[in-house]
Structure 1
């Protein structure tokens, strides 16, 4: 029986395994995996990012610390009194398992509290991926780096709201 002759499926499997081994031997050894992006920090060792959601814009600075989050000069428990909003802000840390390792200083303008929480989350995610580029894949997989572009639809003339018509009167 010749080297490339196939009589049943087990022979075919052996041939493909041998071909795969030969291909991997011919290829050059892979370089050690390096993050595609560089660490982006300022002179004080902080990572900066801007987060947006609805009409809210958040400027976020992230630095190594004890996990203190300050928003507009106030603690997160004071500024975001609702636990669900604090949960939203901490999602990037939960996904990357970095709870209590970074201090956050954020300034938020515009929108309501829900939009502001979403903007801070977006900013924290961006800043975290700039401070630790290796975490970018995990953050991106959860969709935290994508700006949620949904905004309130504008009111049209001849309508009560954006889509609702005025009440119909038969007489």
Structure 2
């Protein structure tokens, strides 16, 4: 049985499939450790599995696009948490308590017209 969910963070989108297995995580057809490079991103992705105690029970296959590696890791994390809800609705309490079901809404602020950046202003000159 496969369970599917979508996760998003910043401009990254991840499609995540959960299937019974021994705990192998694959992102964009590469091993997750090789793809994410940073150990902190890898821990971030595994958080929902550790919260529910299902780290060694499911294989994860994910495709991630857009953004950078940290954004993609956040998107995969949300996708895993949502897929775990489809596996067992009783996981909701643990996942929600640790904040794994919250979509991080922070995005890059757009550049404003007539300015150098999103918040940058022209230099003030008294004279």
Asked if TM exceeds 0.5, the reply is: yes
1:111 aligns with 2:67: yes
Q: Could you tell me how far 1:165 is from its partner in structure 2? A: 1.1
1:72 aligns with 2:28: yes
Q: Which protein has greater RCO, CA pairs closer than 8 Å, 6+ apart? A: 2
Q: Which structure's CA Rg is the greater one?
A: 1
- 1-side partners of 2:2 and 2:93: how far apart? 21
Q: Could you tell me how far 1:169 is from its partner in structure 2? A: 4.8
Match of 1:148 among 65, 90, 104: 104
TM-score by length of 2: 0.94
Match of 2:76 among 110, 117, 120: 120
- 1-side partners of 2:122 and 2:43: how far apart? 39
Match of 2:123 in 1: 167
Deviations 1:37-91 (A, max 9, x none): xxxxxxxx01100000000000000011110000000000110010000010000
The answer as to whether partners of 1:158 and 1:165 remain within 8 angstroms in 2 is no
- 2-side partners of 1:106 and 1:85: how far apart? 15
- SS of 1:124's partner is helix
Alignment map for 1:22-37 (pairs within 5 Å): none
1:46 aligns with 2:20: no
Match of 2:50 in 1: 94
Gaps (5+ residues) in structure 2? none
Report the RMSD for the aligned CA atoms in angstroms. Answer: 1.2
- SS of 2:111's partner is coil
TM-score by length of 1: 0.71
Deviations 1:93-118 (A, max 9, x none): 11112222110000001111110000
How many pairs does the alignment contain? 127
Gaps (5+ residues) in structure 1? 1-44
Q: Could you tell me how far 1:170 is from its partner in structure 2? A: 5.6
- 1-side partners of 2:92 and 2:20: how far apart? 17
